[in-house]
DNA sequence: ATTAGATTTAGAATAATTCTAATTCTAAGA
DNA sequence: TCTTAGAATTAGAATTATTCTAAATCTAAT
Protein backbone atom coordinates (compact mmCIF):
# COMPACT_ATOMS: atom_id res chain seq x y z
CA UNK A 1 0.00 0.00 0.00
CA UNK A 2 2.51 2.56 -1.15
CA UNK A 3 1.87 6.22 -1.78
CA UNK A 4 2.53 5.43 -5.39
CA UNK A 5 -0.29 2.95 -5.44
CA UNK A 6 -2.69 5.57 -4.21
CA UNK A 7 -1.39 8.27 -6.51
CA UNK A 8 -1.93 6.03 -9.48
CA UNK A 9 -5.62 6.21 -8.89
CA UNK A 10 -5.57 9.72 -10.28
CA UNK A 11 -6.91 11.36 -7.17
CA UNK A 12 -6.42 14.91 -6.03
CA UNK A 13 -4.01 15.46 -3.17
CA UNK A 14 -6.87 15.91 -0.72
CA UNK A 15 -8.59 12.72 -1.78
CA UNK A 16 -5.34 10.83 -1.62
CA UNK A 17 -4.85 11.99 1.92
CA UNK A 18 -8.34 11.01 2.96
CA UNK A 19 -7.91 7.59 1.42
CA UNK A 20 -4.53 7.18 3.06
CA UNK A 21 -5.92 8.09 6.47
CA UNK A 22 -8.64 5.50 6.15
CA UNK A 23 -6.32 2.81 4.85
CA UNK A 24 -3.77 3.45 7.58
CA UNK A 25 -6.29 3.44 10.41
CA UNK A 26 -6.42 0.48 12.74
CA UNK A 27 -10.10 1.04 13.39
CA UNK A 28 -13.11 2.41 11.64
CA UNK A 29 -13.07 6.18 11.72
CA UNK A 30 -15.77 8.83 11.86
CA UNK A 31 -15.66 11.73 9.42
CA UNK A 32 -14.43 13.85 12.29
CA UNK A 33 -11.52 11.54 13.00
CA UNK A 34 -10.67 11.38 9.33
CA UNK A 35 -10.58 15.18 9.32
CA UNK A 36 -8.28 15.33 12.35
CA UNK A 37 -5.84 12.84 10.88
CA UNK A 38 -5.96 14.36 7.42
CA UNK A 39 -5.11 17.77 8.83
CA UNK A 40 -1.81 16.38 10.10
CA UNK A 41 -0.86 15.28 6.63
CA UNK A 42 -2.29 18.28 4.82
CA UNK A 43 -2.84 21.14 7.25
CA UNK A 44 -4.98 23.29 4.98
CA UNK A 45 -7.65 20.69 4.28
CA UNK A 46 -11.17 21.72 5.11
CA UNK A 47 -14.00 19.85 6.67
CA UNK A 48 -16.17 20.16 3.62
CA UNK A 49 -13.44 18.64 1.52
CA UNK A 50 -13.21 15.67 3.82
CA UNK A 51 -16.92 15.09 3.40
CA UNK A 52 -16.70 15.63 -0.32
CA UNK A 53 -13.80 13.23 -0.55
CA UNK A 54 -15.54 10.61 1.53
CA UNK A 55 -18.53 10.79 -0.74
CA UNK A 56 -16.35 10.66 -3.82
CA UNK A 57 -14.28 7.72 -2.57
CA UNK A 58 -17.40 5.89 -1.54
CA UNK A 59 -18.99 6.34 -4.94
CA UNK A 60 -15.77 5.28 -6.62
CA UNK A 61 -15.86 2.13 -4.51
CA UNK A 62 -12.61 2.77 -2.66
CA UNK A 63 -14.16 2.92 0.79
CA UNK A 64 -17.41 1.92 2.42
CA UNK A 65 -19.67 3.76 4.80
CA UNK A 66 -21.17 1.94 7.76
CA UNK A 67 -23.90 3.19 10.04
CA UNK A 68 -25.36 1.87 13.24
CA UNK A 69 -27.90 2.90 15.81
CA UNK A 70 -26.15 5.89 17.30
CA UNK A 71 -24.00 8.73 16.21
CA UNK A 72 -21.95 9.26 13.14
CA UNK A 73 -21.11 7.18 10.11
CA UNK A 74 -17.95 5.15 10.15
CA UNK A 75 -15.66 4.73 7.17
CA UNK A 76 -14.02 1.52 6.23
CA UNK A 77 -11.16 0.79 3.90
CA UNK A 78 -12.56 -1.69 1.48
CA UNK A 79 -9.92 -4.34 0.99
CA UNK A 80 -12.54 -6.88 0.15
CA UNK A 81 -16.20 -7.36 0.77
CA UNK A 82 -16.75 -8.22 4.38
CA UNK A 83 -19.28 -8.19 7.14
CA UNK A 84 -19.38 -6.76 10.62
CA UNK A 85 -19.97 -7.81 14.19
CA UNK A 86 -21.00 -5.26 16.79
CA UNK A 87 -20.87 -5.84 20.52
CA UNK A 88 -24.15 -5.10 22.24
CA UNK A 89 -22.30 -4.42 25.47
CA UNK A 90 -19.31 -2.21 24.66
CA UNK A 91 -20.23 -1.23 21.11
CA UNK A 92 -16.97 -2.31 19.50
CA UNK A 93 -17.20 -2.95 15.79
CA UNK A 94 -15.09 -5.59 14.11
CA UNK A 95 -14.82 -6.97 10.61
CA UNK A 96 -15.75 -10.49 9.70
CA UNK A 97 -13.99 -11.99 6.72
CA UNK A 98 -15.83 -15.06 5.58
CA UNK A 99 -17.58 -16.54 2.61
CA UNK A 100 -21.33 -16.44 2.67
CA UNK A 101 -23.23 -19.69 2.50
CA UNK A 102 -23.81 -20.29 -1.18
CA UNK A 103 -27.56 -19.93 -1.17
CA UNK A 104 -27.82 -16.78 0.93
CA UNK A 105 -27.88 -14.11 -1.77
CA UNK A 106 -29.96 -16.28 -4.00
CA UNK A 107 -32.56 -16.83 -1.30
CA UNK A 108 -32.69 -13.16 -0.38
CA UNK A 109 -33.10 -12.19 -4.02
CA UNK A 110 -35.88 -14.69 -4.47
CA UNK A 111 -37.80 -13.46 -1.43
CA UNK A 112 -37.44 -9.78 -2.31
CA UNK A 113 -37.63 -10.00 -6.09
CA UNK A 114 -34.58 -7.78 -6.26
CA UNK A 115 -31.84 -8.16 -8.81
CA UNK A 116 -29.04 -8.72 -6.30
CA UNK A 117 -25.82 -6.76 -6.26
CA UNK A 118 -24.35 -7.36 -2.86
CA UNK A 119 -25.28 -8.49 0.59
CA UNK A 120 -23.76 -7.73 3.90
CA UNK A 121 -24.74 -8.66 7.39
CA UNK A 122 -24.21 -7.53 10.92
CA UNK A 123 -23.89 -9.95 13.74
CA UNK A 124 -24.94 -8.61 17.12
CA UNK A 125 -23.61 -10.28 20.20
CA UNK A 126 -21.01 -10.16 22.93
CA UNK A 127 -17.40 -9.62 21.94
CA UNK A 128 -14.67 -11.88 23.33
CA UNK A 129 -13.47 -9.17 25.75
CA UNK A 130 -16.88 -8.52 27.26
CA UNK A 131 -17.56 -12.22 27.43
CA UNK A 132 -14.76 -12.96 29.89
CA UNK B 1 -53.82 -4.96 16.35
CA UNK B 2 -56.46 -3.27 18.48
CA UNK B 3 -55.90 -0.28 20.71
CA UNK B 4 -56.57 -2.69 23.53
CA UNK B 5 -53.60 -4.80 22.54
CA UNK B 6 -51.31 -1.83 22.74
CA UNK B 7 -52.76 -0.47 25.96
CA UNK B 8 -52.17 -3.78 27.66
CA UNK B 9 -48.46 -3.24 27.29
CA UNK B 10 -48.66 -0.70 30.10
CA UNK B 11 -47.37 2.21 28.09
CA UNK B 12 -48.02 5.88 28.63
CA UNK B 13 -50.43 7.55 26.25
CA UNK B 14 -47.57 9.14 24.33
CA UNK B 15 -45.70 5.89 23.91
CA UNK B 16 -48.89 4.14 22.85
CA UNK B 17 -49.38 6.74 20.17
CA UNK B 18 -45.84 6.45 18.89
CA UNK B 19 -46.12 2.67 18.75
CA UNK B 20 -49.48 2.91 17.01
CA UNK B 21 -48.10 5.29 14.39
CA UNK B 22 -45.28 2.92 13.59
CA UNK B 23 -47.48 -0.14 13.50
CA UNK B 24 -50.04 1.54 11.28
CA UNK B 25 -47.50 2.87 8.81
CA UNK B 26 -47.21 1.28 5.41
CA UNK B 27 -43.56 2.19 5.18
CA UNK B 28 -40.63 2.78 7.43
CA UNK B 29 -40.84 6.20 9.04
CA UNK B 30 -38.28 8.72 10.15
CA UNK B 31 -38.54 10.24 13.63
CA UNK B 32 -39.85 13.36 11.96
CA UNK B 33 -42.64 11.49 10.21
CA UNK B 34 -43.51 9.69 13.42
CA UNK B 35 -43.78 13.08 15.09
CA UNK B 36 -46.07 14.48 12.39
CA UNK B 37 -48.38 11.49 12.53
CA UNK B 38 -48.35 11.33 16.31
CA UNK B 39 -49.37 14.97 16.53
CA UNK B 40 -52.57 14.15 14.70
CA UNK B 41 -53.50 11.59 17.31
CA UNK B 42 -52.21 13.54 20.29
CA UNK B 43 -51.78 17.19 19.40
CA UNK B 44 -49.75 18.21 22.43
CA UNK B 45 -46.99 15.66 21.98
CA UNK B 46 -43.50 17.10 21.78
CA UNK B 47 -40.59 16.22 19.62
CA UNK B 48 -38.45 15.22 22.54
CA UNK B 49 -41.13 12.84 23.71
CA UNK B 50 -41.21 11.18 20.32
CA UNK B 51 -37.47 10.60 20.53
CA UNK B 52 -37.73 9.43 24.13
CA UNK B 53 -40.53 7.09 23.18
CA UNK B 54 -38.67 5.72 20.19
CA UNK B 55 -35.69 5.00 22.40
CA UNK B 56 -37.89 3.42 25.05
CA UNK B 57 -39.80 1.28 22.58
CA UNK B 58 -36.60 0.21 20.92
CA UNK B 59 -35.06 -0.84 24.20
CA UNK B 60 -38.23 -2.65 25.14
CA UNK B 61 -37.98 -4.53 21.86
CA UNK B 62 -41.25 -3.27 20.40
CA UNK B 63 -39.68 -1.54 17.43
CA UNK B 64 -36.37 -1.57 15.60
CA UNK B 65 -34.18 1.22 14.34
CA UNK B 66 -32.59 0.96 10.91
CA UNK B 67 -29.94 3.21 9.47
CA UNK B 68 -28.46 3.48 6.03
CA UNK B 69 -26.02 5.65 4.21
CA UNK B 70 -27.85 8.94 4.21
CA UNK B 71 -30.07 10.93 6.42
CA UNK B 72 -32.15 9.96 9.37
CA UNK B 73 -32.89 6.71 11.15
CA UNK B 74 -35.95 4.78 10.13
CA UNK B 75 -38.23 2.97 12.53
CA UNK B 76 -39.71 -0.38 11.91
CA UNK B 77 -42.54 -2.19 13.62
CA UNK B 78 -41.06 -5.41 14.75
CA UNK B 79 -43.54 -8.09 13.97
CA UNK B 80 -40.80 -10.64 13.71
CA UNK B 81 -37.11 -10.65 13.02
CA UNK B 82 -36.50 -9.82 9.40
CA UNK B 83 -33.97 -8.47 6.98
CA UNK B 84 -33.99 -5.66 4.47
CA UNK B 85 -33.37 -5.02 0.81
CA UNK B 86 -32.49 -1.57 -0.41
CA UNK B 87 -32.62 -0.46 -4.02
CA UNK B 88 -29.39 1.10 -5.21
CA UNK B 89 -31.29 3.05 -7.82
CA UNK B 90 -34.37 4.55 -6.17
CA UNK B 91 -33.46 3.91 -2.54
CA UNK B 92 -36.64 2.11 -1.60
CA UNK B 93 -36.35 -0.09 1.47
CA UNK B 94 -38.34 -3.27 1.81
CA UNK B 95 -38.53 -6.05 4.34
CA UNK B 96 -37.43 -9.59 3.64
CA UNK B 97 -39.11 -12.30 5.66
CA UNK B 98 -37.13 -15.49 5.38
CA UNK B 99 -35.29 -18.02 7.43
CA UNK B 100 -31.54 -17.76 7.44
CA UNK B 101 -29.50 -20.68 6.20
CA UNK B 102 -28.86 -22.78 9.27
CA UNK B 103 -25.13 -22.31 9.45
CA UNK B 104 -25.03 -18.54 8.92
CA UNK B 105 -25.06 -17.32 12.52
CA UNK B 106 -22.86 -20.16 13.60
CA UNK B 107 -20.26 -19.36 10.95
CA UNK B 108 -20.29 -15.65 11.72
CA UNK B 109 -19.89 -16.36 15.42
CA UNK B 110 -17.01 -18.70 14.76
CA UNK B 111 -15.18 -16.18 12.58
CA UNK B 112 -15.67 -13.27 14.97
CA UNK B 113 -15.45 -15.12 18.28
CA UNK B 114 -18.59 -13.30 19.36
CA UNK B 115 -21.27 -14.89 21.47
CA UNK B 116 -24.06 -14.42 18.95
CA UNK B 117 -27.37 -12.77 19.74
CA UNK B 118 -28.85 -11.89 16.40
CA UNK B 119 -27.91 -11.36 12.81
CA UNK B 120 -29.50 -9.28 10.14
CA UNK B 121 -28.51 -8.57 6.62
CA UNK B 122 -29.11 -6.03 3.93
CA UNK B 123 -29.36 -6.98 0.32
CA UNK B 124 -28.39 -4.27 -2.11
CA UNK B 125 -29.68 -4.48 -5.63
CA UNK B 126 -32.32 -3.28 -8.07
CA UNK B 127 -35.92 -3.39 -6.99
CA UNK B 128 -38.57 -4.92 -9.24
CA UNK B 129 -39.92 -1.49 -10.26
CA UNK B 130 -36.53 -0.12 -11.28
CA UNK B 131 -35.71 -3.33 -13.06
CA UNK B 132 -38.51 -3.04 -15.62
C1' DA C 1 -53.84 13.79 50.56
C1' DT C 2 -48.64 13.22 50.11
C1' DT C 3 -44.86 12.14 47.99
C1' DA C 4 -41.19 10.07 45.16
C1' DG C 5 -40.11 8.80 40.82
C1' DA C 6 -40.97 8.68 36.14
C1' DT C 7 -42.60 11.21 32.16
C1' DT C 8 -43.57 15.05 29.40
C1' DT C 9 -42.94 19.57 27.62
C1' DA C 10 -40.74 23.60 25.20
C1' DG C 11 -37.04 25.17 23.71
C1' DA C 12 -32.11 25.46 23.76
C1' DA C 13 -28.00 23.00 22.67
C1' DT C 14 -25.18 19.85 20.32
C1' DA C 15 -23.62 16.96 16.65
C1' DA C 16 -23.40 15.54 11.95
C1' DT C 17 -23.59 16.76 7.45
C1' DT C 18 -24.43 19.65 3.45
C1' DC C 19 -24.61 23.99 1.05
C1' DT C 20 -22.88 28.46 -0.81
C1' DA C 21 -20.10 31.53 -3.06
C1' DA C 22 -15.61 32.81 -3.91
C1' DT C 23 -11.19 31.11 -5.09
C1' DT C 24 -7.81 27.93 -6.89
C1' DC C 25 -6.31 24.13 -9.54
C1' DT C 26 -5.92 21.26 -13.75
C1' DA C 27 -5.93 19.66 -18.14
C1' DA C 28 -7.03 20.55 -22.95
C1' DG C 29 -7.07 23.32 -26.85
C1' DA C 30 -5.60 27.67 -29.42
C1' DT D 1 2.95 29.14 -23.66
C1' DC D 2 -1.61 31.36 -22.84
C1' DT D 3 -6.47 30.76 -22.20
C1' DT D 4 -10.19 28.87 -20.56
C1' DA D 5 -13.77 25.73 -18.84
C1' DG D 6 -14.80 22.57 -15.56
C1' DA D 7 -13.77 20.45 -11.38
C1' DA D 8 -12.17 20.76 -6.73
C1' DT D 9 -11.24 23.26 -2.59
C1' DT D 10 -11.95 26.51 1.03
C1' DA D 11 -14.23 28.93 5.02
C1' DG D 12 -17.93 29.46 7.11
C1' DA D 13 -22.88 29.57 7.22
C1' DA D 14 -26.90 26.72 7.07
C1' DT D 15 -29.46 22.71 7.65
C1' DT D 16 -30.85 18.45 9.63
C1' DA D 17 -31.04 15.06 13.17
C1' DT D 18 -30.84 14.18 17.76
C1' DT D 19 -30.15 14.98 22.68
C1' DC D 20 -30.17 17.79 26.77
C1' DT D 21 -32.14 20.81 30.40
C1' DA D 22 -35.09 22.45 33.73
C1' DA D 23 -39.60 23.07 35.02
C1' DA D 24 -44.16 21.18 35.09
C1' DT D 25 -47.17 17.19 35.25
C1' DC D 26 -48.61 12.64 35.96
C1' DT D 27 -48.86 8.15 38.45
C1' DA D 28 -48.91 4.83 41.74
C1' DA D 29 -47.91 3.72 46.42
C1' DT D 30 -48.25 4.94 50.80
Asked if this assembly's ipTM is beyond 0.85, the reply is: no
CA distance B123 to A109: 8
Name which residue leads in pLDDT, B68 or A24: A24
Instruction: Quote the pLDDT of residue A92.
Output: 87
3-state secondary structure of B104: helix
The integer distance in angstroms from the CA atom of B72 to the C1' atom of D12 is 24
- Ranges under pLDDT 50 in chain B: 1-4
Subunit contact A114:B105, Cβ cutoff 8 A: no
Contact B89, A78 (CB under 8 A): no
pLDDT in tens, B28-63: 999 999 999 999 999 999 999 999 999 999 999 899
The confidence band for A8, taking pLDDT boundaries of 50, 70 and 90, is low
The confidence band for A2, taking pLDDT boundaries of 50, 70 and 90, is very low
CATH number at residue A104: 3.30.1490.190
Instruction: Quote the pLDDT of residue B102.
Output: 86
Residue A15 forms part of a structural domain = yes
pLDDT in tens, B41-50: 999 999 999 9
Do residues A12 and A63 share a domain?
A: yes
Residue A130 forms part of a structural domain = no
CATH number at residue A68: 1.10.10.10
Q: How far is B6 from chain A (nearest CA, A)?
A: 25
- By C1' distance from the Cα of A54, the closest nucleotide is C17
CA distance A82 to A95: 7
pLDDT in tens, A34-52: 999 999 999 999 999 999 9
- The residue that minimises its CA distance to C1' of C6 is B12
Of the partner residues B69, B104, B126, the one whose CB lies closest to the CB of residue A115: B126
Q: Across the strands, what pairs with A94?
A: A85
User: What rounded mean pLDDT belongs to chain A?
Assistant: 89
Domain extent for B44: 3-77
Span A106-110, mean pLDDT? 96
Residue A23 forms part of a structural domain = yes
CB contact B93 to A (< 8 Å): no
Q: How far is A74 from chain B (nearest CA, A)?
A: 10
Residue B63 forms part of a structural domain = yes
Subunit contact B107:A98, Cβ cutoff 8 A: yes
Subunit contact A112:B123, Cβ cutoff 8 A: yes
Instruction: Quote the pLDDT of residue A69.
Output: 60
CA distance A57 to A11: 9
Name which residue leads in pLDDT, A4 or A82: A82
3-state secondary structure of B128: coil
Do residues A71 and A36 share a domain?
A: yes
Helices B13-24, B47-59: inter-axial angle, 10-degree rounding? 80
Subunit contact A127:B113, Cβ cutoff 8 A: yes
Of the partner residues B67, B85, B114, the one whose CB lies closest to the CB of residue A112: B85
Domain count, chain B: 2
Instruction: Quote the pLDDT of residue B106.
Output: 94
Do residues B7 and B70 share a domain?
A: yes
CB contact B64 to A (< 8 Å): no
The confidence band for A17, taking pLDDT boundaries of 50, 70 and 90, is very high
The integer distance in angstroms from the CA atom of B60 to the C1' atom of C5 is 20
Q: What percent of chain A has pLDDT over 90?
A: 70
Instruction: Quote the pLDDT of residue B8.
Output: 61
Of the partner residues A65, A67, A114, the one whose CB lies closest to the CB of residue B85: A114
Question: In this predicted structure, which of A87-91, A99-103, A122-126 has the lowest mean pLDDT?
Answer: A87-91
Amino acid sequence: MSIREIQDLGLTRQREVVLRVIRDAEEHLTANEVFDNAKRLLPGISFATVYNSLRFLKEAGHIAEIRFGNGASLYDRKLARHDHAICTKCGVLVDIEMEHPAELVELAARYSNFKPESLDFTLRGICPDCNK
